[in-house]
Amino acid sequence: MYTREQAKQEILKSLKKAVGKGFECTVEDLVDADLRFGDIAFPVFELAKKQKKNPVELAKEIAANIKATDLIESVEATGPYLNFRFNNTAFIKNVLSEIKKLGTKFGEGDLGKGTSLMIEYAQPNTLKEFHVGHIRSSVYGQSVVNVARINGYKVTATSYINDLGANVAKILWWMKKNYSEQKVEKENHNSFMQKVYVEATENAENDEARTEISETFEKLENQEKGWFELWKETRQWSLDSFKEYFEELNVRPDVTYYESEVLQDGKKIVKKLLTDGIAKKSQGAVIVDLEDEGLGVMLLLKSDGTSLYSTRDLPLAFKKDKDYDADRQLFVVDVRQSLYFKQLFATLKKMGFTKQLTHLAFDFVNLPDGAMSSRKGNIVTYEDLRDDMVEFLEHETKTRHEDWSEKKIKSTAKTLAIASMNFMMLRQDPESIITFDIKEAMSFDGFTGPYILYTIARIESIKKKAKTKAKIDETKLDKELELELARQVAIYPELVQRVGKSFKVSSIATWAFDTAKLFNEYYHEVKILDDEDKERLASRLALIEAVRQSLENAMSILCIDVLKEM
């Protein structure tokens, strides 16, 4: 039980006693007060309406009947609000004691207890470069997994790899048509396949090319000799890279599904949907008519008989349900697929799929000079972005720490680079477009990952220099900024619970930035290590340790490793 929750429960108990029979109120009815008036407020509008009383007068009446408690120092009526003020010393003591006791578990809750989720995310395409947009998909999905687990959900984190589709057929068609085996061996596999994809796209806009690509796709689906071996070899190039990238980004799916695994099941399902009258033929293609639901028409098979995403996604939903029997399936996929997922869910419902399905949409990642396009080749690859950032940060780190070993400099620079990327991807609402500015992302000032990590490292440095061990004496923490810091870390568990409902992890990033900013204000105002009062120094060390722990917990949700030195 966290301190703010304890205080809220005491408030509810006091309200129930003061109002009497018929009073119904939950923790959600209590709101954050204007700090000029208190810590927690209770608006009496609804209660006044039920009792047919003036809300201002009712607030005064209730306030007069509530007494102070160990955690609640006072209650005052301010207009139609009851404002409760915490007992500061008791509050600070409870907050710091709770964080010390729970450590990395501070923020955990039971919101999702008894509910299982399968969260699908990280869906790169084989034979195409892993670029900046894929970072957002992968990291946002992993952060949703992280926050769901902290809230007590049983989670199966699932990556779905698009390894057999029209794009794969187009790339292999052009590759076999124009590149010898010897020439391919000399190339960097990832950049080579991206080059082939751009060339193939430029040369695929005529009837002859479309026919040949369709025939290639059919050969791949039928595992035709020569084509199938080429597909397996090139597919492995991509899978090896994805594994490396996921590890670096702290993206850790529990299970991976592949399009190729469910292709044949998808074609069987399409036949059954035709037999059952759920699907029908239209101009040679197979469709599901969803016009009566305002969702248009969902295409299941092309007129040439080749498959689509939908062909594979239908059996995949049933396969995942059979394998893990999750109560809900969540799909972290970009916003462009919103209509498609409505169509997919509607079709699955017609097929008798009863589990809850949710699309968690996120928007594009652009560059300062405009949108990216894999087809045109104007993308920023993950490898190039990572290497450029690491190179810059190695130089910055070496300038600050000439005594550090080369290994330590490289390790620190890479951790900072990943923190810069991940934080930039998660700091905005998922449905907002991100303009990825590399210089801004790496800044040590402002709303960035390095700023948060620098704050944590600063706290570690203070602790290391202090000759006194942290020990809580709440009576020694009497500055307003100390109370503000205690309030700030105390709201973390409630925030995590709210994010566990919405999965908008940008709130965690905002909280971390606000907390770091408040700590740095405190650091500049209070010379912690210069305090000659050993008990006050010990208490301040306990306070900043609570800040560090809560920040580190937040960074863990955001797929970011922390540093003890920077």
- For 65, 90, 266, 386, 530, the CA distances from 71, given in Å and listed in that order, are 17, 6, 60, 49, 32
Residue 307's pLDDT is what?
Answer: 86
**DSSP label at 351?**
T
Q: Which architecture does CATH list for 3-86?
A: 2-Layer Sandwich (3.30)
Q: Which architecture does CATH list for 122-366?
A: 3-Layer(aba) Sandwich (3.40)
Residue 154's pLDDT is what?
Answer: 98
- For 247, 483, 486, 543, the CA distances from 490, given in Å and listed in that order, are 32, 10, 6, 12
**Mean pLDDT for back-to-back runs of 10 residues, the chain (566 residues):** 81 92 85 89 93 94 93 94 94 95 96 98 92 94 98 98 90 89 68 88 91 92 92 94 97 97 93 96 96 97 89 96 98 96 98 97 84 59 94 94 95 98 96 92 96 98 93 93 95 96 97 98 95 94 98 98 95
**DSSP label at 83?**
E
Task: Name residue 304's amino acid.
Answer: D
Residues in the chain: 566
Residue pair 129/188 in contact by the 8 Å Cβ criterion? no
- For 198, 200, 239, 336, 359, the CA distances from 166, given in Å and listed in that order, are 14, 12, 18, 18, 24
Q: What is the DSSP annotation of 110-165?
A: -TTTT-EEEEEE--PBTTS--BHHHHHHHHHHHHHHHHHHHTT-EEEEEEEEB-SS
Class of domain 383-557: mainly alpha
Q: Is 12 helix (H, G, I), strand (E, B) or coil?
A: helix
Buried b (16+ CB within 10 A) or exposed e, 335-349: eeeeebbbbbbbbbe
Tell me the two tokens of residue 463. Answer: 């602790």
Tell me the two tokens of residue 553. Answer: 């917990």
Tens of pLDDT, residue by residue over 143-201, are 999 999 999 999 999 999 999 888 899 999 999 988 876 566 656 788 888 889 989 99
Residue 35's pLDDT is what?
Answer: 80
**What distance in Å separates the CA atoms of residue 27 and residue 42, rounded to the nearest whole number?**
10
Q: Is 36 helix (H, G, I), strand (E, B) or coil?
A: coil
Residue 374's pLDDT is what?
Answer: 53
Residue-range domain boundaries for the chain:
3-86, 122-366, 383-557
What is the chain's mean pLDDT, rounded?
93
**What distance in Å separates the CA atoms of residue 142 and residue 154, rounded to the nearest whole number?**
14
**What distance in Å separates the CA atoms of residue 99 and residue 92, rounded to the nearest whole number?**
11
Residue 488's pLDDT is what?
Answer: 96
Three-state secondary structure of 456-495: HHHHHHHHHHCCCCCCCCHHHCCCHHHHHHHHHHHCHHHH
Residue 183's pLDDT is what?
Answer: 63
Match 């098979």 to its residue by tokens. Answer: 301
User: Which residues lie closer than 8 Å to 379 by C-beta, 6 or more apart?
Assistant: 129, 131, 132, 133, 194, 372, 373
